[in-house]
Amino acid sequence: MTTSSLPVDPSPATAATARPSLGARLRGRQNQNLWFWVFVGPFVLGLIIFIYIPIIWSIYLSFFESYNTVTPTKFVGAGNYLDMLKDESFRSSLGTFIVFALFIVPTTFALSLLTAILVARTRVMQAFFRSVFFLPTACSYVVAALIWKMSIFAGVRSGAANAMLGVFGADSIPWLSLTKPPWYWLVIVSARLWLQVGFYMILFLAALQRISTTLYEAAAIDGASGWQAFRYITLPQLRPTSAAVLLLLLINAFQAFDEFYNILASFGTYPPYARPPLVYLYYVALGQGQDFGHGSAGAVILTLVIALAAVVFNRFFSFRGED
C-alpha cells in the first residue's frame, strides 16, 4: 500500500487530458476499488473456502457412492436421493420438523414480541430487564442443554422440576425417558425458548423504539384504544422486522441440532422421535457411519425444503404487505 505505484499527478490540467494507467483505472477513483477488495476480499475468500466449496463438494458427493472417502469413484446418479426419499426415518424426521417449525416459530415470535413490548414499556430498570432477557443468548446451546438435562429435568427427586413436584406430593417424572406423554418436548422447547427469545426480543425492541411517537399521539387524539394502537400502528410498523424474525426462526427450526443432540442422544443412539433431520444426517454421514453420499443427498434435500419454505413464506408475507 505504498504511494510509489500511484500515478504522478503534477498538475490538474495534465491529469484531465492524460489517460490514467491501467493500474490506476483498476484501483478506481481514490483507490475505491482497491479498498473495496481490501475490506471485502478476506470475507469473500472465507466464504468461498468455507461455504461455497463445501456446498459444491457436497452436491458432487451426493451423486456418488462414497463410504469413508471424499474422493469417490463410483457414480450412482440420483440413487442416493432416491434412497434418502425412500428412507422412512429420514422422511419422518422431515415430517416431525415441519410440525416442530409450525409450533416453535409462532411461539418464539409471540414470546419475543411480548417481552419486547413489556420491556419497552417498563419505566424502571429497563436496562436491567433488557440485559436479563438477552443474557441467555450468550449461553452455549450445549451448556444449556446439559443444565436442562442433568439438573432441571433430571428424572430423580433431586432434579429441580421434580423437587417442585415433590412439594405438591407428586411422583417424580422421568422427563426425558417417556414417550407417552411426550414430556421431552417440554424440555426441548423450554430450553430453546430460553436460549432464543432474548435475541429476537432485542430485534423487536430496536424496531419498537424506531416507531415515531407522533403516530401514537395522533392515534390517542383520535381516541384509539391500546389494542387498536397495537393492531394498527405497532404491528404494521414492525412488519420488516417481523418478516426477518420469522424467516430466521424458520431456518433455525430446520437447523435444530445442538440442544436436541445434547438432550436426547443416549448411548450410541438417538431415539427416532424428535430427531431433527440434521441429527439423522449426522448419524448417517459424520458419526461412525461415514456415508457421505447419502449424507450429502440428505443435506441437499433438506436445503431444498428450507429454501422452498422460505420462498413460500416470503411470497405470503409480501402479498399480505401490499394490500
Enumerate binding residues for another protein (CB under 8 A): 40, 42-47, 49-51, 67-70, 88-89, 150-151, 153-159, 172, 174-180, 239-240, 243-244, 266-273, 283-284, 286-291, 318
- Residue number with CB closer to another protein (119 or 196): 196
- Residue number with CB closer to another protein (20 or 54): 54
- 309 burial via Cβ count (<10 Å: 0-12, 13-18, 19+): middle
- Residue number with CB closer to another protein (59 or 243): 243
Cβ 47 to another protein shortest distance, Å: 4
**Contacts (Cβ under 8 Å, ≥6 apart) of 109:** 200, 242, 245, 246, 249
Backbone angles phi and psi of 197, in degrees to 5: -55, -40
- Residue number with CB closer to another protein (27 or 149): 149
- Residue number with CB closer to another protein (169 or 223): 169
- Residue number with CB closer to another protein (24 or 309): 309
Range 180-189 contact pairs with CB under 8 angstroms and sequence separation of 24 or more: 182/273, 182/274, 184/263, 184/264, 184/273, 184/274, 185/274, 186/153, 187/148, 187/149, 187/152, 187/153, 187/263, 188/259, 188/260, 188/263, 188/264, 188/274, 189/103, 189/104, 189/107
How far apart CA 133 and CA 113 sit, in angstroms, is 12
- Residue number with CB closer to another protein (23 or 240): 240
Cβ 24 to another protein shortest distance, Å: 27
Cβ 318 to another protein shortest distance, Å: 8
- CA angle centred on 152, ends 149 and 154, rounded to 5°: 55
Cβ 70 to another protein shortest distance, Å: 6
Cβ 89 to another protein shortest distance, Å: 6
- 137 burial via Cβ count (<10 Å: 0-12, 13-18, 19+): middle
State which amino acid sits at residue 223.
G
Cβ 288 to another protein shortest distance, Å: 4
- Residue number with CB closer to another protein (119 or 264): 264
Cβ 299 to another protein shortest distance, Å: 16
How far apart CA 41 and CA 38 sit, in angstroms, is 6
Backbone angles phi and psi of 275, in degrees to 5: -105, 110
Cβ 179 to another protein shortest distance, Å: 4
